[in-house]
């Protein structure tokens, strides 16, 4: 994490999707680094929401707008004039993409095009486009997906993220000889305090604990690359720093995944998380839309070249999530809990 303060202090940074779970954690970290923050997103779509609970609106020049609205995106980026954009705004759920494929493509593909177009015309120096480990064509090769592996996607969400990758690469090759420098970031399944989203594993277990009911789990045997939310965010920040420094070699796709030992079945993560939360789970055997059985990323490039490496093992990540939610439920400040965990993670990275 060395050098991040020097890179981001007083820097004008815009985060799309800043009202979401991952965007809120990123904004909180950038705030601790002294960045001048702007945000572009829809209003929080959960109650409670981490963005509201952590009072992040006090630190961000926030614009509430839909990235499907090209004029609104252009106006927001033109007004704030960021040096770098972290593009996280998306329709992030596989199952929702089956229900709303057109909305998913419009948000994840054309929304990305709107951000890149506005960034190109308003002098933005760097853009980090966050996609997904699901952007690859199945099945994963032995050892996990490499950045050079074919893109694809069975479901509309996964395909939309593959499209966003192709769009970013095309934009970079066609229009960005000088600026902005564009990179894409592919991360695994993130967990962290303050995630109350629908249709995600940890929030489902938290709601089950609160209701005193077992959480129905669709695919307990599916294997995923689990990591604390701070892990990929550290990668995004390191990548952004390289782009801002003018390193053309960083303008490419990057994987940010956990160690191989942290590739666990969903059911095993449920067992460990339930022990933290006092919740229970049961196997939901009803028919559900297709989801990948195995996802695995090979992050050797990020480790060797950025450099970036995972710092918290899955047990540490699960313990951090459980502690966050227990302390929040006891009345502690969400903002303080975020800052404490960022500090602990940063200390572990030294």
Helix axes 201-211, 266-277, angle to 10 degrees: 40
**pLDDT tens column, 42-96:** 999 999 999 999 999 999 999 999 999 999 999 999 999 999 999 999 999 998 9
Cβ proximity of 219 and 151 under 8 Å? no
**Phi and psi (nearest 5°) for 207?**
-65, -35
pLDDT, tens only, 231-270: 999 999 999 999 999 999 999 999 999 988 888 899 999 9
pTM greater than 0.85: yes
Spans in the chain with pLDDT lower than 70 = 1-2, 178, 292, 349-350
Beta-ladder partners of 16:
40, 87
Class in CATH terms, 4-285+292-348:
alpha beta
Which of these, 222, 46, 68, 27, lies nearest to 160 by C-alpha position? Answer: 68
105 as an active site residue: the answer is: no
Contacts from 325-332 at CB under 8 Å and sequence distance 24+? Answer: 325/193, 325/206, 325/277, 328/53, 328/193, 328/194
pLDDT of residue 208: 87
Question: Which of 226, 306, 216, 308 has the alpha carbon at shortest distance from 263?
Answer: 226
pLDDT of residue 350: 55
Helix (H) or strand (E) holding 84: strand 84-87
Q: Name the catalytic one among 105, 157, 236, 345.
A: 157
Query: What local confidence, expressed as pLDDT, does residue 349 receive?
Result: 65
Q: Structural domain boundaries of the chain?
A: 4-285+292-348
Beta-bridge partners for 145 = 297
Q: Mean pLDDT across the chain, nearest whole number?
A: 93
């Amino acid at each position: 994490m060395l050098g991040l303060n020097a890179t981001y202090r007083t820097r004008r940074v815009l985060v799309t999707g800043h009202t979401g779970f991952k965007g809120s954690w990123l904004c909180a970290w950038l705030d601790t680094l002294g960045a001048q923050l702007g945000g572009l997103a829809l209003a929080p779509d959960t109650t409670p929401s981490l963005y509201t609970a952590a009072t992040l609106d006090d630190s961000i020049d926030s614009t509430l707008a839909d990235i499907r609205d090209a004029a609104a995106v252009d106006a927001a980026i033109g007004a704030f004039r960021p040096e770098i954009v972290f593009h996280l705004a998306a329709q992030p759920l596989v199952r929702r993409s089956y229900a709303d494929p057109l909305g998913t493509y419009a948000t994840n593909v054309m929304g990305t095009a709107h951000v890149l177009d506005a960034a190109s015309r308003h002098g933005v120096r760097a853009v980090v486009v966050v996609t997904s480990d699901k952007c690859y064509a199945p099945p994963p090769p032995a050892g996990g997906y490499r950045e050079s592996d074919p893109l694809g996607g069975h479901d509309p969400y996964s395909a939309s993220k593959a499209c966003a990758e192709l769009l970013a690469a095309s934009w970079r090759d066609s229009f960005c000889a000088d600026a902005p420098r564009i990179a894409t970031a592919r991360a695994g399944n993130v967990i962290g305090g303050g995630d109350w989203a629908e249709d995600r594993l940890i929030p489902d277990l938290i709601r089950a604990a609160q209701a005193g009911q077992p959480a129905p789990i669709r695919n307990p045997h599916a294997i995923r690359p689990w990591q604390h939310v701070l892990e990929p965010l550290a990668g995004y920040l390191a990548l952004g720093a390289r782009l801002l420094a003018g390193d053309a070699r960083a303008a490419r796709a990057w994987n940010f995944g956990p160690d191989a030992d942290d590739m666990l079945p969903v059911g095993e993560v449920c067992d460990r998380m339930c022990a933290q939360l006092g919740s229970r789970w049961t196997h939901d055997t009803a028919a559900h839309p297709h989801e990948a059985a195995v996802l695995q990323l090979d992050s050797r490039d990020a480790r060797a070249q950025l450099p970036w490496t995972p710092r918290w093992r899955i047990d540490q990540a699960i313990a951090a999530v459980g502690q966050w939610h227990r302390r929040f439920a006891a009345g502690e400040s969400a903002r303080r809990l975020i800052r404490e965990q960022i500090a602990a993670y940063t200390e572990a990275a030294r």
